[in-house]
Chain A
Amino acid sequence: MTPEPLSKIPGGMRYYFGAEARLRRALEAKCMSVFDGWSYEEIATPSVDYYALFERGMGHDEAHRAFRFTDTDGRLLALRPDVTSSVARAAATLFAERTRPLRLCYAASVFRQRARSHAEWRRESKHLGCELVGAGSHEADIEMLVIVAEALEKLGLRGECRITLNHVEIFNGVAEHLSLDQDAREEMRLLVDTRDDAGLRDFLATRAASSSQLDAFSSRLPRLTGGREVLTEARRMITNGRSLAALDALETLWETIEALKLSDLFEIDLGDTSGLDYYTGLVFKIYVVGAGTRVGSGGRYDELTANFGRREPAVGFVLDLDALTDVLARNESCFLSLDDGYISSIGGVDATRLFKEAMRRRANDERVRVGLEMKRHSMESSDEVEAPSDETATRRDREVAE
C-alpha cells in the first residue's frame, strides 16, 4: 500500500484564506454585532463534551453523527456536533439562579462525522446562533425572527432570501386525530416533508377512520406554502383543536410580521415537518438564493431544558457561516478587498530603524507590511548565505532599502 500523502485533507474539511477568510470573518463580525445589539451575551462552550450531553440535547439520531472518542476514564466524549445542547445545560445548571430571560449568543465550529445529505458535505462548520431561554411568549418568537431578518439584511441578503415558518403542532394535531402509531406517524411525516402528494393520498386511503375533511387537508399539506392565504385555506379544513390552536399562533405571528413590514422575507410552509421531535412550537428555516441547501434554521424547544433538570421555554436559531460565506463569495461585489489603499511597505537595512518606523505607523493604526521577503529568500538558499556572491549581496541591499 502506498503511504497517504501529507497533502491529503480529510473529507468535509477545508482551509479558508485570503479574501474568502476575510469575508467570512467580516460576516461573522456583522452577525455578532447584530446579536450584541439585541443584548445577547456571547458564550463559548467546550469544544469537547460528554457524548451523553448531546444525546440528551439533540436526540439519538442527530447526536449519533458526531465524532466520538473516549476520555481517560473510559467515558464517551464527542467533538461538539451542536452548541444548543451545551447552552441548555448551562441555562439549567450554571445559570440556574440568573434572572430570566437569558439571552445568549455564540459563534462556534461544530463537527459532524456523518453529513446530513450529499449536498451538505462539510463536516466542520461554524454556527452563529442565539438562544432566548425562559421566555415563552409570542414576543420571544418575534424577537428571534426580527434578529434573523436584521442579520440577513445587514449581510445584504434581503430580497435574496426566504424564511419559512411553521408550527409543529399543526402536524402533531393531525397525526393525533388520525390516531397514528409511532411508525405510521413517521411515514406520514416523511411523505409530507418530501411533498409526495400521491404517496400521501395512498397513505391516507389506507386509514379508514379519517374524515374526508381531514383527508383533504392532509393531502394538501405538502402544497400549503405562501402568505396569509395558506392560513385561510388551512382553517377551512382543520377541525382538531390542537392544530387549530397552532394555526391561531401562526396567524398572530404573521400579523405582527406584516405590521413590521417584514413579510417579503417570510413565507408560511405547513409542509415543513422536519425536527418534530425536537421543536415544540414555531419552526423556521432560512434559504438564500445561490445556496442549494438551507443556510440556517431555528424554532421553539420548550422540552429541551427539561432534559437537564429544569423545564422552561426556549427559542433559538443558528446561521451556518460557511454556507453564507459560500454564497456571498460567489457574489464579487460583496468581497471586502482589504488590500486596497492603506498598505504601506517599509524597508531599511537596520532592524531598529525598520521597526521604529513600523511601530510609529501602527500607533496611527496604519496597515504596514515589513519587507522581509529577501531575508527569507537567503534562509532558503543556504549555500548563498554561507558564501554570498557580491551580486546577491548588493541585490539584497537594494531591495531591502526600497
Chain B
Amino acid sequence: MNLDETPILRSSDKRRLTIALAKGRMQGDALRLLERAGVRVCDEALASRRLAVEDESGRYCFIFVKPSDVTVYVEHGIADCGVVGRDVLLESEADVLQPLDLRIARCRIVVAAKPEAASADCGMLHVATKYPRIAAAHFGARGVPVEIIELSGSVELAPVLGLADCIVDLVETGRTLEENGLVVVETIAESTGRLVVNRASYQLKAEAISELIDALGESLQEKSMGKAV
C-alpha cells in the first residue's frame, strides 16, 4: 500500500465523511447505489488494492473492511458512516444509528436442518452458527434449550457430519443449503444492507450526513419507481 496516497482519515473537517463499506457482496451494490446518488469512486482506485480511497469530489473517504468490522469502525467514530447488513447489526448489538434501509444484498437469516430432523422433538438442540447471539436470542425466546457451536465458515457441513442438529445462517438463494441436503425450517429475520451512522458524527457533521441520507434516499426512490414501471 502506498502510504502517500492513503487519504487522511479521522479528519475533523465537518464537510468530509469517512464511510466504511463491507467488503464482498455488499461493496459492489453499495458503490452502485452511491454512484446513482452522485458519489463516484474512480475505477482505477477500486481496481487497486488500497483499502482506503477517496471519491472523485474528495468529500468522501471510503474504507473497505470485513462486514463485522464495519460496526466496530462506526461505533468508535473512526468512520462516520458505514454500509453493512442487518445480520451483522443484530449479531454485534452495535450502538449505532440506522437511518436508511438501502434494500441491497437482500437475504434471510434462517434455521436450516436435514429434512428428516426438521420436525424432530428433542430436549436439547445443538446449533452450529456464525451468529451465536442471534441464535441464542431466537431459541431463548421460545424456551428451547440449545448448545451453540460457534463456527467461522462452511456452517452447512455441521448437520451433515453430525456436529449439530441444525444451523442458523444467512441464506440468499438457498442453493448452498440445497446442495448440502438441508432445508429451511424457519426464517428468523430478513436482512438487507443498512446505512449506519456514528452517534457523535450524526450531531457534529449533521449537514454532511443529512445530505448523504437525502441523496441516497432519493436514488432509492428512483430505483423503486423504475422497478414499478
B91 within 8 A of A: no
If A197-B100, A223-B210 touch, whether A164 touches B94 (CB-CB below 8 Å) is no
Residues of B near A290 (CB, < 8 A) are: 10, 12
- In this complex, what residue of A is CB-closest to B207? A226
What is the CB-to-nearest-CB distance from B113 to chain A, in angstroms, rounded to a whole number? 30
Structural contact, B94 and A267, CB atoms closer than 8 A: no
Pick from B76, B97, B199, B206 the residue with the most CB of A within 10 Å.
Answer: B199
B132 within 8 A of A: no
Task: Spot the interface stretch: A128-136, A291-299, A372-380.
Answer: A291-299
- In this complex, what residue of B is CB-closest to A202? B101
What is the CB-to-nearest-CB distance from A220 to chain B, in angstroms, rounded to a whole number? 12
Instruction: State A292–B197 Cα separation when bound (angstroms).
Output: 11
- In this complex, what residue of A is CB-closest to B96? A194
Instruction: State A292–B92 Cα separation when bound (angstroms).
Output: 17
If A195-B197, A292-B77 touch, whether A117 touches B94 (CB-CB below 8 Å) is yes
Structural contact, A117 and B95, CB atoms closer than 8 A: yes
- CB < 8 Å neighbour of A195 from B77, B92, B98, B201: B98
Residues of A near B95 (CB, < 8 A) are: 116-119
Structural contact, A225 and B98, CB atoms closer than 8 A: no
Structural contact, A292 and B76, CB atoms closer than 8 A: yes
Structural contact, B206 and A119, CB atoms closer than 8 A: no
A112 within 8 A of B: no
Instruction: State A269–B202 Cα separation when bound (angstroms).
Output: 10
B99 within 8 A of A: yes
B interface: dominant SS: mixed
Instruction: State A223–B209 Cα separation when bound (angstroms).
Output: 11
Residues of B near A194 (CB, < 8 A) are: 96-98
Residues of A near B77 (CB, < 8 A) are: 119, 291-293
Instruction: State A160–B198 Cα separation when bound (angstroms).
Output: 17
Interface size band for B: 20 to 34
B75 within 8 A of A: yes
Structural contact, A269 and B203, CB atoms closer than 8 A: yes
A50 within 8 A of B: no
- CB < 8 Å neighbour of A222 from B12, B92, B96, B99: B99
B31 within 8 A of A: no
What is the CB-to-nearest-CB distance from B100 to chain A, in angstroms, rounded to a whole number? 7
What is the CB-to-nearest-CB distance from A296 to chain B, in angstroms, rounded to a whole number? 12
Structural contact, B204 and A289, CB atoms closer than 8 A: yes
A248 within 8 A of B: no
- In this complex, what residue of A is CB-closest to B95? A117
**Binary B-proximity of A86-124 (CB < 8 A = 1, otherwise 0):** 000000000000000000000000000000111100000
B37 within 8 A of A: no
Residues of B near A269 (CB, < 8 A) are: 203
A162 within 8 A of B: yes
Instruction: State A68–B210 Cα separation when bound (angstroms).
Output: 43
**Binary A-proximity of B80-119 (CB < 8 A = 1, otherwise 0):** 0000000000001011111111000000000000000000
Residues of B near A199 (CB, < 8 A) are: 98, 101
- In this complex, what residue of A is CB-closest to B210? A223
- In this complex, what residue of B is CB-closest to A164? B203
**Binary B-proximity of A315-359 (CB < 8 A = 1, otherwise 0):** 000000000000000000000000000000000000000000000
Structural contact, A195 and B99, CB atoms closer than 8 A: yes
A287 within 8 A of B: yes
B72 within 8 A of A: yes
B78 within 8 A of A: yes
Instruction: State A293–B200 Cα separation when bound (angstroms).
Output: 6
Residues of B near A294 (CB, < 8 A) are: 199-200
Residues of A near B206 (CB, < 8 A) are: 225-226, 267
Pick from A195, A225, A226 the residue with the most CB of B within 10 Å.
Answer: A195
- In this complex, what residue of B is CB-closest to A291? B200
Structural contact, A198 and B100, CB atoms closer than 8 A: yes
**Binary B-proximity of A264-296 (CB < 8 A = 1, otherwise 0):** 000101000000000000000101111111100
Residues of B near A116 (CB, < 8 A) are: 95
Instruction: State A293–B198 Cα separation when bound (angstroms).
Output: 8
A196 within 8 A of B: yes
Instruction: State A318–B98 Cα separation when bound (angstroms).
Output: 27
Structural contact, A162 and B98, CB atoms closer than 8 A: no
Instruction: State A309–B10 Cα separation when bound (angstroms).
Output: 48
What is the CB-to-nearest-CB distance from A312 to chain B, in angstroms, rounded to a whole number? 32
If A117-B94, A292-B77 touch, whether A287 touches B100 (CB-CB below 8 Å) is no
What is the CB-to-nearest-CB distance from B209 to chain A, in angstroms, rounded to a whole number? 10
What is the CB-to-nearest-CB distance from A130 to chain B, in angstroms, rounded to a whole number? 22
Pick from B71, B72, B204 the residue with the most CB of A within 10 Å.
Answer: B204
Structural contact, B204 and A118, CB atoms closer than 8 A: no
- CB < 8 Å neighbour of A117 from B75, B197, B210: B75
**Binary B-proximity of A196-231 (CB < 8 A = 1, otherwise 0):** 111100000000000000000000001101100000
Which residues 47-68 of B have a CB within 8 angstroms of A? none
Name 25 interchain pairs, CB-CB below 8 A, sorted by A.
Answer: A117-B75, A118-B94, A118-B95, A119-B76, A119-B77, A119-B95, A162-B204, A164-B203, A194-B96, A195-B197, A199-B98, A222-B99, A223-B99, A223-B210, A225-B203, A226-B206, A267-B206, A269-B203, A288-B200, A289-B14, A290-B12, A292-B77, A293-B77, A293-B199, A294-B200
B contacts, CB < 8 Å to A: 10, 12, 14, 71-72, 75-78, 92, 94-101, 197-204, 206, 210
New A-B contacts (4) at CB < 8 Å, excluding given A118-B75, A199-B98: A196-B101, A223-B210, A290-B10, A293-B200
The 7 closest A-B CB pairs, nearest first, are A292-B77, A117-B95, A195-B99, A195-B97, A198-B101, A119-B75, A287-B200
